[in-house]
Structures are given as C-alpha cells and as structure tokens.
Amino acid sequence: MIIREFFLMFVSFVTLFIALFWIQIFLFRDKEQQEIVRKGYSVSIIVPVHNEESTIKDTLESLMNIDYPKDKIEIIVVNDGSTDKTKDIVEGYNNRGVKLINKSKFGKAAAVNTGLRQVNSEIFGIVDADSIVDEMSVSNMLHFFDSENTGAVISLIKVKNPRNMFEKLQHLEYIFSAFSRKLMSNVNTLFITPGVLTLYKTEIIKRLGGFDENNLTEDLEIAMKLRYNGYNIFIETNSVTYTAVPRTFKKLWDQRIRWFRGYLYNTKKYKDMFFSKKHGFLGLFQVPLNFITVFLVVLSFTLAFYEILRLIYEFIIKLVSYKMDIIYTFNIPSIKEIIFKMDLKILFPILISFILAFYIYNKAHKAAKEKWKFPMALLLYVTIYPSLRIAHWIAALGKEIMGAKKKW
C-alpha cells in the first residue's frame, strides 16, 4: 500500500511539473518568428505509393493546386510495386508534369530514396499518398530554410474527414500532437518529421546518406539523425495538411505498434543523445523526458494490473467466506459510503490531472483553430483511450524484447 501511494505521488508530481513547464512555455513563448524574405527555392515533392488507388487522385490534385511558381516545383511519384490501379491513375497526370518512377516493392524508405536520387532541387518534401495539402502549405514553410542550420520543417497535421469513433479519437490526438510539437519547436527540441508533408534541405539529407531502409519508422529515424548531427527541425502551423487515419481497431493497433517499436528502436540507436550537453536542451531534457514517460506508462500498467489481480483475489476470498452468497457479496454501497471511502491520495492527483488535461486540450484546439466537437470521443479520449495507448506500448515493448519480425 505504501509503495502504491508513493508511486502515485511521484507520478502526480512528475505529471504536474511537466504540464506546468509546457504551459509556461506556451504562455511566455517568444513572438512568432517573422518570415524572412524567401529565396526562390526550387522544390521537389516525392510521393511514395503502394496500392493507393482510392486516395492518390486527391493527393495529386492537392499538389497540383499548390500556390508556388510552376517552374520552381516538381512532383515525383515513386510506385513501389502497386498491384492495383495506382500506376494507371498516376500516368493520367503525366501531361500535368507529374513524373512517375516504377520499381519493385522494397518499402517506403527505399521508394523515397529512389525519388531522392532524381532530385536536383534545393528543397524536397515527402507527402504520403493518403494525404492532402493546403495550397499555401509549401510557401509558408520555406522561410525557415533561410537559416543554414535548418534541416527540416514539418506541417500542422489534421485528420481528414473523421467519421467513426476511432477516427474521431485520433482527430483529438492529432490536435494535441500539433500543439505539443509547436511547444517543442519553440524551445528547439522537436525531433519528429511525419510523412504528411515534411520539407527537407536536399544537400543535408543526401550528405547524411538518405533514409534508413531497414527502419520501421524511417521518418522518425531521419529526424533523430538530423538532430544528432546538429540540424534543427521546426513546425509551421500556418501550413495545414490532412491525412487519413486507421478506421478500425486492428489497423490502429498495427500502426501504433509499428510507431512505438520504431521509437524504441531509434531511441536505442541514438542513445548517445541522452543527457548530452552537445545536443543542448534536446539531449538534457526532451530525450530523457520522453523515455521517462514511456517508463512511467509501463510502470503504471504494471501497478494497475497488480491492483486488478488483488481486487479479484479479495473478491474470491470474500465470496468463499460468505459461502458463495452472491447477493451479500455484491452489497451495493450508498453514495455517502462511496464518498467517505474515497482515498484523497488517489482522487486528488486524478482530479488535478483531468483539470490540466482539459486546459491543455482547450489551448490545443485554439492553436489549431478548431472548435470543440465529438463530445463522446472526448470522453473516451480522457478515460478509455489512455489505457489503449498503454496496451500499445506494452505490446511494442514485448515485440522489441522478443525480436519479432519487423514489417510495414
């Protein structure tokens, strides 16, 4: 019991400290960076595709509508062994300047590297084939590259047309993620480059050897490689992009297991960044914080599982003691009894966590220029969804420990 109370107090303190730190960063952040007069950068957009016949047309149409000089931008689609009508659809855009490269299926990273070898532009970007970009998305991002130390710039990602409950939950998750990425960008600790429109400085990525083709999350790996080698990553919140998200439990499960395994693998790969003065606030604070958070998640699950087993054991003992008298055993307490039996050591940190969560979610919505909606999804997001994420982490950790086969 003492261990449980100590753990709850410790987690509550850490959670409160982290939340207040990020709230302070938000409230006292510097003014938005003013756009420097842009150079006339040449830009290439790489779209890796594999059996994307249902979404590739919308993606290409959005790229066709990008507000940027046509003689300064090119679109390269790398068809990674599609067996549906993806190739035929892309070929229909040949007369509109889209370049198609066909290759055998070797995975997304290999497809991106294939496209990168054809790029001569100063800046290149990656857009997933299930995503669409705003017409000003590219031009709004380029001012960051006037700094020689900028390696990549990411966009603000939203969920495209959320309909069922899984998509609505992710809609809330993406809003919060965008907010947290902006905060990390403000203190220069951002180390994420999602596939939903990220722009890179071509010369830097080529010099670093391109994307890791044996990695479950090549986008995270390239981001950590950039930060490891001293290059910065920023987010442009005025660059809005939309992506399709998993619509079923299994698809969401598979995606998150892959993401979390990728995080564990790449964290190990770049372990030298832990408490590294060379990497500044990123090495001394952000990287250790992320790892500690995962550790606390796993530890919380272990404690919760222990508590469940203990309650089941006590119930069985009670059931046996009363000679299987189910009615007596299930004696329903009154509201007064429930209130007086509440453990304030547990209730207080939970209450504080909920208040802080709603405060941050509200600020995240305002930052993303989104209205509160999907009330049922919100309720599930703050109650049930965290347990699902814990299950994702446990499963990912188990697969990494067991050395399970890596597959896309």
Ramachandran quadrant class, 82 (left: phi over 0; alpha: psi -120 to 50; beta: rest): beta
Name the H helices within 51-187: 56-64, 86-91, 108-116, 137-141, 165-186
- Write down the domain spans for the chain: 2-24+285-402, 41-275
pLDDT in tens, the chain (408 residues): 555 566 566 666 666 666 666 666 666 655 455 454 456 899 999 999 999 999 999 999 999 999 999 999 999 999 999 999 999 999 999 889 899 999 887 889 999 999 999 999 999 999 999 999 999 999 999 999 999 999 999 999 999 999 999 999 999 999 989 998 998 998 899 999 998 999 999 999 999 999 999 898 999 999 999 999 999 999 999 999 999 999 999 999 999 999 999 999 999 999 999 999 999 989 998 888 888 877 776 676 666 666 667 777 777 776 666 655 555 555 555 555 555 555 555 566 667 667 777 787 888 888 888 888 888 998 888 888 888 888 898 899 888 888 777 665
Edge-to-edge order in the sheet of strand 131-133: 98-103, 73-80, 43-49, 123-127, 196-201, 150-159, 232-243, 131-133
The answer to whether residues 56 and 90 touch, using CB atoms and an 8 Å cutoff, is: yes
Distance CA 300, CA 298 (A): 5
b/e code 164-192 from CB counts within 10 Å (16+ = b):
eebbbbbbbbbbbbbbebbbbbbbebbbb
Class of CATH domain 41-275: alpha beta
The answer to whether residues 216 and 258 touch, using CB atoms and an 8 Å cutoff, is: yes
The answer to whether residues 112 and 180 touch, using CB atoms and an 8 Å cutoff, is: no
Distance CA 382, CA 376 (A): 10
The answer to whether residues 256 and 386 touch, using CB atoms and an 8 Å cutoff, is: no
Query: What is residue 278's predicted lDDT score, i.e. its pLDDT?
Result: 92
Query: What is residue 24's predicted lDDT score, i.e. its pLDDT?
Result: 63
The answer to whether residues 104 and 81 touch, using CB atoms and an 8 Å cutoff, is: yes
Distance CA 403, CA 391 (A): 18
Q: What is the CA radius of gyration of the chain?
A: 24
The answer to whether residues 248 and 162 touch, using CB atoms and an 8 Å cutoff, is: no
End-to-end CA distance of the chain: 43
* Residue with the two structure tokens 């009894």: 337
Any bridge partners for residue 234, and if so which? 153
